[in-house]
Amino acid sequence: MSLNESSKIGVVGAGTMGTGIAQIAATFGHDVFLFDAYPDQLEASKNSLEKILNRQVEKGRLSAKEVQDILSRIQYQSHIKDFAKCEIVFEAIIENLRAKKDQLARIEAITSKTCILASNTSSLSIASISSGLKKPGRFLGIHFFNPAPVMKLVEVIPGISTDSEATVQARNLINSWNKTTVLAKDTPGFIVNRVARPFYGEALRIYEEEIADHATIDWAMKELGGFRMGPFELMDLIGHDVNYAVTESVFKAFYYDPRFKPSFTQKRLVEAGLLGKKSGIGFYDYRKGAKNTEPNRDEKLGTEILNRILAMLINEAADAVFMNIATVQDVDLAMKYGVNYPKGLLEWADEIGIETILNRLEKLQDEYGEDRYRPNPLIKKMAGNHQQFYS
């Protein structure tokens, strides 16, 4: 079976992500069945989507007729029986292994033998989720980024049992939705959540050493590095409970590799309920009338901060290639479109020079004596051979 614009789409979970996936599919002409076990959530999803689309009309991006057509293609379901008509079903419920396995097993019993099943997990093992299925060959991970209708990147993650044809069909479908797909191996964090860890982790380490405060580190990364947000602003926006949980999950999944070691500073913020924007205070104070620290705009200090964090990010990006998690091109696409980095990390490495990156990493390792800073073998090999990622 070939997925195309007439394929019927199932979505499980009417939260923000499930509603976003339903919106994308309906926008591209698909009939969509959006299921949630809670009627209140279905109603909230419907109301939210109407508001989002009506704002697009106000901004002149969609016509009233286009909005009506999109909304008419989505059927809100309190039962999964209509998934029997679907050719692909996206599961987008809570990030809990048992819940996902149970839900997908129920869907498998309803759908046709050729229906592709996909999980929108951001961190769980695709192999673990698939173990509850009778036919794991038709199952894979498809990770949209929030907000799904806006973010271009989608990570496609086949599991150890996934049939290659299921991967091809799913990827072609999502590409037809004007998304940029990247193929990732089923390893902790896939591409983006793995490679991005040093953006937070090394910034926190610099902060804990009192080399610079959070405002100065954010200033350096934005003004000198071109990042849209600094690491502390971004952690405050994501929520420290969420960001810390991902870091801890990746750390454990990699058998406590020191490259991914979580920060006690962030752990204490979580314990104190200082979660960032959503709680009113994190590294920054978001309460009315609050005054926040001004950065130290010392360019020499800022450059040192940028170079240190960037070397760690490039080292992690190189490791993803070295371990065959993804191609050079897909790693760079993932970081540009998944977390809005100013350029691909490996492209950036070529501009700086692989030998320069190796020297920065070796200096850090010599200074700290920690395995955290070990240069990736690919970086070493390329520096020795005067190679580039893009030649």
* Cβ–Cβ under 8 Å, residues 291 and 268: no
Q: Dihedrals φ, ψ of 355, to 5°?
A: -60, -40
* CA 89 – CA 119 distance, rounded (Å): 9
pLDDT at 215: 98
* CA 97 – CA 249 distance, rounded (Å): 13
pTM over 0.85: yes
Domain ranges for the chain: 9-183, 194-384
DSSP 8-class letter at 116: E
Across the range 268-281, mean pLDDT stands at 97
155 carries an active-site annotation: yes
**What are the tokens at 244?**
């810390």
* Cβ–Cβ under 8 Å, residues 157 and 184: yes
* Cβ–Cβ under 8 Å, residues 362 and 337: no
- What secondary structure does DSSP assign to 255-299, as a single string? TT-GGG---HHHHHHHHHT--BGGGTBSSSB-STT---PPP---H
Alpha helices in 73-146 (DSSP H): 97-110, 126-130
Structural element, H or E, at residue 382: helix 377-384
Question: Domain 9-183: which topology?
Answer: Rossmann fold (3.40.50)
pLDDT at 1: 62
Q: How far apart are the first and last CA of the chain?
A: 39
122 carries an active-site annotation: yes
**What are the tokens at 182?**
């990247």
- Given 193, 243, 263, 376, the catalytic residue: 193
* Cβ–Cβ under 8 Å, residues 127 and 159: yes
Within 13 A of 278's CA, how many CA atoms are on the CB side?
12
385 carries an active-site annotation: no
**What are the tokens at 296?**
């130290």
SS3 121: coil
pLDDT at 14: 96
pLDDT of 391 over the 90 cut: no
Cα distances (angstroms) measured from residue 135 to each of 11, 87, 108, 324, 359: 19, 15, 8, 26, 49
pLDDT tens digits, 39-81: 999 999 999 999 999 999 999 999 999 999 999 999 999 999 9
- Given 87, 91, 108, 155, the catalytic residue: 155
Across the range 241-250, mean pLDDT stands at 92
pLDDT of 123 over the 90 cut: no
- Given 45, 120, 122, 376, the catalytic residue: 122
Average pLDDT, the chain: 96
Q: Which amino acid is at 213?
A: D
Instruction: Return the bridge partners of 157, or none.
Output: 141
Q: Which of 177, 190, 219, 161 is nearest to 316 (CA)?
A: 190
Cα distances (angstroms) measured from residue 345 to each of 66, 229, 364: 39, 16, 19
Across the range 185-211, mean pLDDT stands at 97
Give Cα 357 distance to the centre of its chain: 25
pLDDT tens digits, 11-37: 999 999 999 999 999 999 999 999 999
**What are the tokens at 338?**
């998944």
CATH 1.10.760.10 fits 194-384, yes or no: no
Instruction: Return the bridge partners of 77, or none.
Output: 35
pLDDT at 2: 83
* CA 57 – CA 63 distance, rounded (Å): 6
DSSP 8-class letter at 28: T
- Given 30, 91, 143, 249, the catalytic residue: 143
In this prediction, residue 110 has a pLDDT band, given cuts at 50, 70 and 90, of very high
pLDDT tens digits, 275-328: 999 999 999 999 999 999 999 999 999 999 999 999 999 999 999 999 999 999
